[in-house]
Amino acid sequence: MTEFSFATPYFAPRRPVLARNMVATSQPLAAQAGLAILAREGNAVDAAIAAAAALTVVEPTGNGLGSDAFAIVWDGDALHGLNASGRSPAAWTPQRFAGLSQMPGMGWESVTVPGAVSAWVDLSDRFGSLPFADLLQAAIGYADKGFPVSPTVARGWRTGAALLAEQPGFAETFMRDGRTPNVGEMFQNPALAASLRAIASSKGEAFYRGDLADRIVAFAQAHGAALNATDLASHTNDWCGTISMDFGDVTLHEIPPNGQGIVALMALGMLKYLPVADHEADSAHAFHFQIEAVKLAMTDAERYVSDVSSMTVPVHALLDETYLKRRAALIDPGRAQDFGAGAPTTGARFISRPPMLRG
């Protein structure tokens, strides 16, 4: 028997997948959850919600009920953008973080209001065809009855545990018997199953204004966190539309800030003024131009991007064609550079589509 290797996980070249209905996720069991919904004549949004809920169970290394969510949905006539990234606790004042050079990366002082559950509800209400509770049944089943841990998830689980083992509640939930699960081991999470049942039956109300919210707040405050009941109860999502950038005959759409999608749009806008098309797609020269453009865009994003309501430079100024051309001119085709932030003008002429902030 050939030994499994992460470097060469497939025994033969990948074949194209031919199907009438398709669900793509990073974990096969979550894809099955979405396909099951399509088999019941649910639509694509129903399937996406089912898959997303399943991922909180079968891929806890990258997903959870404490996550945020963004979505771009094509309804056949128009694109709709949803920003379900939760806001900071109201008690997060500058004084609370005085003396720190950066925001904490772990622990309760890094936790904002989770938006993923509310995203599922809003997407289901606006675009779904099946009852909301039905969409979470596969996730509940995986959590209640257990699921076999896949190789990539097992590896990420070990890596995450090395960083998070001392965080309150982590080991009790994710390190049974003092260790993370092995590849193929069945893992059950009955507490998560109970939470998902409460979310399903209340259409998310339990998570923001009910019993689950009370338990979240109690646990947060027991560990000195700022998050409180008002923060959870006042959470809302934004139907924000999209912002976009044209490149040739293709248009790329992204969620407006506070999301980081504007970085991709800015980099694409710079590449219009660089000779990237003169080189093979996978050549060093083509990669160099792309990397440098992304570096420039990320430097600007770090300086200027925040919630739209608090940005000192408007979105359209960062996407202005004249500004991006000026930034592109800084790229040296022969060497990498360490760029500083640019200085877009707030009155810049808008070239691409303007953002629809309340789509």
Residue-wise pLDDT tens digits, 17-30: 777 888 999 999 99
Question: What would the pLDDT profile of 158-215 be if each residue is shown by its tens digit?
Answer: 999 999 999 999 999 999 999 999 999 999 999 999 999 999 999 999 999 999 999 9
Looking at residue 61, its pLDDT comes to 96
Looking at residue 12, its pLDDT comes to 61
Three-state secondary-structure class, residue 11:
coil
Q: What is the percentage of the chain residues whose pLDDT exceeds 70?
A: 92
Three-state secondary-structure class, residue 70:
strand
Query: In this structure, are residues 175 and 61 in contact, taking their beta carbons and an 8 Å threshold?
Result: no
Q: What is the pLDDT confidence band of residue 345, given thresholds at 50, 70 and 90?
A: confident
Phi-psi region of 184 (alpha: psi -120 to 50; beta: other; left: phi over 0): left
Question: Does a cis peptide bond (omega within 30 degrees of 0) precede residue 182?
Answer: no
Task: Report the distance separating Cα 182 and Cα 51, nearest Å.
Answer: 23
HSE, CB side, 13 Å, CA atoms: give it for residue 296: 30
Give the tokens for residue 260.
């980081």
> What is the mean predicted confidence (pLDDT) over 67-93?
96
Task: Report the distance separating Cα 309 and Cα 279, nearest Å.
Answer: 41
Residue 354 has pLDDT above 50, yes or no: no
Rg of the chain over all Cα atoms, to the nearest angstrom: 22
Task: Report the distance separating Cα 169 and Cα 124, nearest Å.
Answer: 31
HSE, CB side, 13 Å, CA atoms: give it for residue 195: 21
Looking at residue 59, its pLDDT comes to 98
Query: In this structure, are residues 322 and 44 in contact, taking their beta carbons and an 8 Å threshold?
Result: no
DSSP state of 132: H
Question: What would the pLDDT profile of 213-258 be if each residue is shown by its tens digit?
Answer: 999 999 999 999 999 999 999 999 999 999 999 999 999 999 999 9
Looking at residue 346, its pLDDT comes to 64
Close Cβ partners of 98 (under 8 Å, ≥ 6 residues apart): none
Looking at residue 357, its pLDDT comes to 38
CA 252 from centroid of its chain's CA atoms: 18
| pTM confidence score | 0.89
Element spanning 215, H or E = helix 211-222
Task: Report the distance separating Cα 262 and Cα 259, nearest Å.
Answer: 7
Number of neighbours of residue 354 by Cβ within 10 angstroms: 15
Mean pLDDT value across the chain: 92
Residue 9 has pLDDT above 70, yes or no: no
Close Cβ partners of 233 (under 8 Å, ≥ 6 residues apart): 208, 209, 213
Question: What would the pLDDT profile of 102-153 be if each residue is shown by its tens digit?
Answer: 999 999 999 999 999 999 999 999 999 999 999 999 999 999 999 999 999 9
Q: How many residues does the chain have?
A: 359
Greatest Cα pair distance, the chain, in angstroms, is: 66
HSE, CB side, 13 Å, CA atoms: give it for residue 144: 11
Looking at residue 11, its pLDDT comes to 58
Domain boundaries, the chain: 28-146+188-239, 244-328
Architecture of domain 244-328: Orthogonal Bundle (1.10)
Phi-psi region of 69 (alpha: psi -120 to 50; beta: other; left: phi over 0): beta
The neighbouring-strand residues paired with 147 are 187
